[in-house]
Amino acid sequence: MPKKIGVMVGRERSFPDAFIAEVNSRNEDIVAEYALLGGTIAAAPSEYDVIIDRISHEVPYYQAHLKHAALNGTVVINSPFWKLADDKFFGTALADKLGVAVPKTVALPSHSYIDDITGDSLSNLKFPIDWESILDYTGLPAYLKPHWGGGWKHIYKVNSLPELWHAYNQTSTLCMILQESIEWEQYVRCICIGKTHVLITNWDPRRPHHLRYDASKPLPLEPELEARVRKDVVTLCTALGYEMNTVEFAVRDGIPYAIDFMNTAPDFAKESIGDVYFEWVINTMADYAMECAREAPKKVTYRWDALL
């Protein structure tokens, strides 16, 4: 029986189609295909040795399926357990402990709550929030952004306390973090696969979304800075257990501050990342997923932390 790699995706096609074609063209005893699910029986193992998950954050049944597959020894990229547990605030504090530079960051109580939660339900919250001391810590300008989020949704750069309130008033039930803005001289985005394969891309957050990646010019990084960035990416992806991720740094005074490093289903569309980066992603992902397939099934001990 050949080993099997299943791919789970949303609307994207260029990445999964090219990945599947690449794996199948290598003529090893490993095949790749779109995974097909239609009800998961608790006692039955998964038919896949590896599943590359690009969409379960949007489809709860997929989460149930993937955790079950992991329990049965399937290598799921990325871990369905940790992916749901992780958040930007925890990640930032963890990065700090690992010696990776991060912006000063504060987690905030939400602006509002679901109907069943009233003032009486919130006995543990200090009220009102001491905004002045929070801003004393982060400084201005600052970024207000969700502690769990992506796709640049609810990202506010604020320059004053009234601007912060105005932004905060729009965040409803989200848990937000307030973060020192790193006023950068360089911005670096890295694609990381298999925790240790790092591609430093030329990516400019100031450009429109579809023009941000530009492989035509290499990103000029001082050798020392490049070495630090590579090391920090591996440190972060290893600690978080992500095998498919992008990691961003804002460089201020030569120091790379980690800004966003939990993009567990990064945009790999050919039209977004361009031919050169796309080819690297397809080849590196095929190499890595096939390595995982050869080693599967993953030995699982029945303590949930072993699954992470």
Secondary element (H or E) of residue 287:
helix 270-295
Task: Check: CB of residue 88 under 8 Å from CB of residue 149.
Answer: yes
Local structure of 262: helix, strand or coil: coil
Give the shortest CB-260-to-Mg ion separation in angstroms: 4
**232 vs 260 by CB, closer to ligand ADP:** 260
Q: Smallest distance from the beta carbon of 16 to Mg ion, in angstroms?
A: 22
Q: Segment contacting ligand ADP (CB under 6 A): 16-24, 43-51, 116-124, 178-186?
A: 178-186
SS3 86: coil
For the window 84-123, what string marks contact with ligand ADP as x by the rule CB under 6 A? -------------------x--------------------
As a whole number of angstroms, the longest Cα–Cα distance in the chain is 64
Of the residues 46, 179, 245, 264, which one makes contact with ligand ADP according to CB under 6 A = 179
- Does residue 260 belong to the site contacting Mg ion (CB under 5 A)? yes
Q: Smallest distance, Å, CB 104 to ligand ADP?
A: 9
Question: What is the pairing mode between strands 105-107 and 3-8?
Answer: unpaired
86 contributes a contact to Mg ion by CB under 5 A = no
Query: Is residue 250 part of the contact set for ligand ADP (CB under 6 A)?
Result: yes
Contact 173, 111 (CB under 8 A): yes
SS3 call for 284 = helix
Sign of CA dihedral 22, 23, 26, 27: negative
137 binds ligand ADP per the rule CB under 6 A: no
- Closest CB to ligand ADP: residue number: 260
Query: Is 22 or 260 the residue whose CB approaches Mg ion more closely?
Result: 260
d(CA 213, CA 215): 6
Size of site (CB under 5 A) for Mg ion: 1
Q: Candidates 22-30, 96-104, 258-266, 284-292 — which segment interacts with Mg ion by CB under 5 A?
A: 258-266
Choosing among ligand ADP, Mg ion, none, which partner's interface includes residue 259 (Cβ < 5 to 8 Å by kind)? ligand ADP
Q: Using CB under 6 A, which of 99, 151, 220, 223 touches ligand ADP?
A: 151
User: Are 183 and 245 a contacting pair, CB within 8 Å?
Assistant: no
Say how far apart CA 241 and CA 4 lie, in whole Å: 22
Among 150, 175, 234, 307, binds ligand ADP (CB under 6 A): 150
Q: Candidates 62, 81, 89, 143: give the one binding ligand ADP (CB under 6 A).
A: 143
Q: In this complex, which beta carbon is closest to Mg ion, that of residue 70 or of residue 250?
A: 250
Place of tokens 């992500």: 242
Rounded to 10 degrees, the C-alpha dihedral 57/58/62/63 comes to 40
Rounded alpha-carbon distances, angstroms, from residue 17 to 2, 91, 176, 278: 20, 32, 36, 12
Provide the binding-site residues for ligand ADP, judged by CB under 6 A.
103, 143, 145, 149-153, 155, 179-182, 205, 248, 250, 259-260
